[in-house]
Amino acid sequence: MTKERLAIYGGNKIIDRPFTRYNPIGKEELQAASQVLESGVLSKFLGCWHEDFYGGPKVREFERIAADYFGVKHAVTVNSWTSGLIAAVGAIGIEPGDEVIVPSFTFVPTASAVVRAGGKPVFVDIRPDTLNLDPELVEKAITSNTKAIVPVHYAGVGCEMSAFNSLAQKNGLRIIEDAAQGVHAYCDGNALGSMGDLGTYSFHQTKNFSCGEGGALCINDPFLVDRAEILREKGTNRRQFLSGQVDKYSWVDIGSSLLPSELTSAFLYAQLQAADEITAKRKEIFNRYLDAFQSLVEDNLIQLPVIPENCDSNYHLFHVLVRNSDTRDRVLENLQECGIHAVFHYVPLHLSKAGQKYQTAGNRLPVTEDVSGRLIRLPIYPDMTTDQQTLVVNEFTRLVTGD
């Protein structure tokens, strides 16, 4: 992290007990945002991330640049990951009665965007090592109503995409990658989000690269691009109008208002320039935790995160599994008392109030239920100091060995 970025960030205290914090904000982000403010144009027909295009809607050109950045064919910017999934689900035409296979060990919108379109989320269990959706269990869950699979790249570690893609091919299904946590992470050299039919990114404050709220929908199947753009533009064919394909734009399909503002888009574009720097910092902190906790693993007190050899993680989060949920609750409570903000997730969707409705009776997800009771996320953010991390390591070690 350059001194300059840190200096600007230094005056920007958000909370005293940080868990995830804003990324350091550099002068680049501030400059990009003020350029937009000076231009007086805060919303455009299309969210442009590239300053060369502030002057006008050079749509195709811009999207080519964004797509190059992520290594996908097309990138459609949206105002959140959730908006991206709404567009994705709409683009592939999920209808009432359609089933979409999702993990239960994930954040709510992975399933709620499916429900919003009238589809039924079918919850499938995860692998105990990467905590990613298990392809063998997915295969067993496929029925004649299955339309799509949504593998979540948990913690920025890639799912087994070749297994999911071959299941999709065999059964005529679509793959939408939940790469909310997977921006600038790779598997066999391919960007997460670029290997399915569609993939979605999040630029929420809690993610590695952020503009507060934002997202991108990556589209590999060119047939889906037009549809996603109509959905994003309130159900109008404004994009075709802008590119001169029609004389007047009008209502052509369902849609919503899913575009990001110019201000956040410009800010984000500038933040992405620091992507390598931010990732390197997170990697350093992640590896320091791994080293520090080896002895706890040898004593069978905890399990550490697993990154398969073919995956380049973006080190989105650092999680450990302790022995049981009592230990978890005790450790979390005590960490809070020491001023360390550690948290757990997820409440399994198949057990949640809204998710139970879609749960087939007798469908057990033992790994999800076990893991979500034992997981602790420790603080990781790019400008975490060695002293701060040593404090976390010492307190955590003390609490876990005190069983």
Ligand X SMILES: *Cc1c(COP(=O)(O)O)cnc(C)c1O
DSSP 8-state class, residue 354: T
Please report whether residue 177 would count as binding ligand X according to CB under 6 A: no
Q: How far are the Cα atoms of 5, 331, 375, 377 from residue 322, in angstroms, in the given order?
A: 36, 9, 7, 11
Which residue's CB is nearer to ligand X, number 157 or number 296? 157
For 135, the token pair is 């392809």
93: left (phi over 0), alpha (psi -120 to 50) or beta: left
Residue choice 67, 76, 155, 180 for contact with ligand X (CB under 6 A):
180
Please report whether residue 184 would count as binding ligand X according to CB under 6 A: no
Please report whether residue 110 would count as binding ligand X according to CB under 6 A: yes
Please report whether residue 21 would count as binding ligand X according to CB under 6 A: no
Produce one character per residue of 118-147: b if its CB has 16 or more CB atoms within 10 Å, e if not: ebbbbbbbbbeebbbbbbebbbebbeeebb
Give the count of beta carbons closer than 10 Å to the beta carbon of residue 265.
29
Residue span binding ligand X (CB under 6 A) among the ranges 76-84, 159-167, 183-191, 359-367 = 76-84
With CB atoms as reference, the residue minimizing the distance to ligand X is 81
d(CA 186, CA 192): 5
Residue choice 120, 147, 204, 328 for contact with ligand X (CB under 6 A):
204
Residue choice 19, 45, 107, 241 for contact with ligand X (CB under 6 A):
107
Please name every residue paired with 148 in a beta bridge, in sequence order, or none if there are none: 100, 174
Please report whether residue 267 would count as binding ligand X according to CB under 6 A: no
Please report whether residue 181 would count as binding ligand X according to CB under 6 A: yes
Residue span binding ligand X (CB under 6 A) among the ranges 105-113, 235-243, 354-362, 380-388 = 105-113
Which residue's CB is nearer to ligand X, number 78 or number 384? 78
Which residue's CB is nearer to ligand X, number 202 or number 237? 202
Please report whether residue 202 would count as binding ligand X according to CB under 6 A: yes
User: Tokens 């960007």 map to which residue?
Assistant: 191
Site for ligand X in 126-155 (CB under 6 A): 152
User: 48 with 196: CB under 8 angstroms?
Assistant: no
Residue choice 20, 23, 77, 82 for contact with ligand X (CB under 6 A):
82
Please report whether residue 106 would count as binding ligand X according to CB under 6 A: yes
Taking the complex as a whole, how short is the minimal distance between the CB of residue 11 and ligand X, in angstroms? Answer: 26
Question: What single-letter amino acid sits at 312?
Answer: D
Q: How far are the Cα atoms of 111, 138, 270, 373 from residue 364, in angstroms, in the given order?
A: 17, 13, 45, 15
Residue choice 80, 104, 130, 271 for contact with ligand X (CB under 6 A):
80
Taking the complex as a whole, how short is the minimal distance between the CB of residue 156 and ligand X, in angstroms? Answer: 10
Which residue's CB is nearer to ligand X, number 78 or number 399? 78
Please report whether residue 368 would count as binding ligand X according to CB under 6 A: no
Give the count of beta carbons closer than 10 Å to the beta carbon of residue 68.
10
Please report whether residue 307 would count as binding ligand X according to CB under 6 A: no
Taking the complex as a whole, how short is the minimal distance between the CB of residue 238 and ligand X, in angstroms? Answer: 23
Which residue's CB is nearer to ligand X, number 155 or number 219? 155
Taking the complex as a whole, how short is the minimal distance between the CB of residue 356 and ligand X, in angstroms? Answer: 20
Site for ligand X in 215-254 (CB under 6 A): 215
Please report whether residue 271 would count as binding ligand X according to CB under 6 A: no
Please classify residue 226 by burial: count the beta carbons closer than 10 Å to its beta carbon, then call 0-12 exposed, 13-18 middle and 19+ buried: middle
Which residue's CB is nearer to ligand X, number 54 or number 209? 209
Which residue's CB is nearer to ligand X, number 54 or number 305? 305
Secondary structure element (H or E) that encloses residue 365, with its range: none
User: Tokens 């091919």 map to which residue?
Assistant: 169
User: 271 with 209: CB under 8 angstroms?
Assistant: yes
Give the count of beta carbons closer than 10 Å to the beta carbon of residue 174.
22
Please report whether residue 258 would count as binding ligand X according to CB under 6 A: no
DSSP 8-state class, residue 233: B
Taking the complex as a whole, how short is the minimal distance between the CB of residue 247 and ligand X, in angstroms? Answer: 35
Please name every residue paired with 319 in a beta bridge, in sequence order, or none if there are none: 377
Please report whether residue 105 would count as binding ligand X according to CB under 6 A: no
User: 279 with 285: CB under 8 angstroms?
Assistant: no
E strand map for 146-194? 146-149, 174-178, 186-187, 190-191
Which residue's CB is nearer to ligand X, number 146 or number 202? 202
User: Tokens 């009008």 map to which residue?
Assistant: 250
Contact residues for ligand X, defined by CB under 6 A: 80-82, 106-107, 109-110, 152, 178, 180-181, 202, 204, 215
